[in-house]
Amino acid sequence: MAAKPPRVALFITCLADQFFPMVGECAVEVLRRLGVEVTFNPAQTCCGQPAFNTGYRQETREVAARVLDLFDDAEFIVAPSGSCATMVRVFYPELFADDPERLKKAESLARRFYEFSEFLVKVLKVEDVGASFRGRVSYHDSCHLLRELGVGEEPRKLIRAVRGVEFVELDDYRLCCGFGGTFSVKFPEVSVAMGEDKLNAAKRAGAEVLVANDSGCLMHLAGLAHRQGLPVRTMHLAELLAKRE
């Protein structure tokens, strides 16, 4: 690591902020453990993804334009979410394609914006964060993280390095869990049927804990498991990496 500790501005994401603050706390703990200086800008809200994925581009632009201005001087921005990182990295430049000034800012932001597991492995070059947890753990690839950002190996390396973890792969690990943002309420029956398949795969693999890096997938799968009284426990990667049991 460089002599000067890296500075990270945390992009908490609206879901983690309001529903799963523990994810943010754990991410901060892990980053600090690795010598990173973490900052948080309370002016942040949402990246704009709900409107973007529902086709409301003007509304998205209004929300996204704020994000461009919030992190002007940040060295790295890290989000505990593959889909929010995708929104900023892949779709912001597309969203501002006709606005040269904002496009420049969007491209600069995209270069400095990382998803949590990607940042640990690719930038900090760390796999073992010093965590320990006993249990059979599996990992669900969230689609944006896997297919838009190409991040699949990094979270697995981090999980395997956790002491006490027995890592098991799901037989359909590349398959979508059915969350899909507003898809989850536009096609709730299909969304639930896909979620059931995912939870069944976890059951087949004998996983006690299903880890993912997106609060959206996790709230969908957890809500389904809770409704159906299934034993599988869902956990964000940051929570697992913060564990010292």
Partner 1 sequence: MSETGVHSREIHIRAISALGDAHLQEAYRSSTLRLFTGRVEAASEVPGWELLRDRARAIKHDVIEHLDYYLAQFADNVEGLGGKVHWAANGEEACRLVCDIAGRAGAREVVKAKTMVSEEIELTHALAARGIRSVETDMGEFILQLAGERPGHIVAPAIHKTRHDVSELFTAHLHAERTDDPERLTAVARRALREMFAQAGMGLSGANFAVAETGTVVVIENEGNIRFCTTAPRVQVALVGIEKIIPRFADLGIFLRLLGRSATGQKLTVYTSLLTGPRRPGEDGPEELHVVLVDNGRVATLADPKMREALFCIRCGACLNACPVYRKIGGHAYGWVYSGPIGALVTPEFTGIEQGRELPFASTLCGACREVCPVKINIPDLLLHLRSKAQEMTRAPQPKDSPVSERTAMRLWAWLMKGPRRYALAARLARVGQKVFARQGWVRRFSKFPLSRWTEGRDFPALAPKPFRDRWKELSS
Q: How far apart are CA 115 and CA 134, in angstroms?
A: 25
Q: Which is nearer to partner 1, 165 or 184 (CB)?
A: 184
Query: At its nearest, how many Å lie between partner 1 and the CB of residue 163?
Result: 25
Q: Which is nearer to partner 1, 18 or 132 (CB)?
A: 18
Query: At its nearest, how many Å lie between partner 1 and the CB of residue 23?
Result: 8
What is the CA 176 to chain-centroid distance, rounded? 15
Q: Which is nearer to partner 1, 144 or 243 (CB)?
A: 144
Query: At its nearest, how many Å lie between partner 1 and the CB of residue 197?
Result: 8
Contacts of 137 (CB under 8 A, 6+ apart): 159, 162, 165, 166, 167, 168, 207, 208, 209, 210, 211, 240
Query: At its nearest, how many Å lie between partner 1 and the CB of residue 166?
Result: 28
Interface contacts to partner 1, rule CB under 8 A: 12, 14, 16-22, 24-25, 28, 40, 42-46, 48, 50-57, 59-60, 62-63, 66, 91, 94, 143-144, 147-148, 174-176, 178-195, 197, 219-220, 222-224, 226-227
Nearest to 46 by CA among 19, 22, 64: 64
Q: Which is nearer to partner 1, 19 or 130 (CB)?
A: 19
> Residue 109 has which token pair?
């932001």
Q: Which is nearer to partner 1, 10 or 129 (CB)?
A: 10
> Residue 133 has which token pair?
């947890």
Cβ proximity of 40 and 70 under 8 Å? no
Angle, nearest 10°, between helix axes 215-228 and 188-205? 80
Q: Which is nearer to partner 1, 156 or 198 (CB)?
A: 198
> Residue 69 has which token pair?
């201005």
**Dihedral (Cα; 225, 227, 228, 233), 10-degree rounding:** 20
Query: At its nearest, how many Å lie between partner 1 and the CB of residue 114?
Result: 18
Query: At its nearest, how many Å lie between partner 1 and the CB of residue 43?
Result: 5
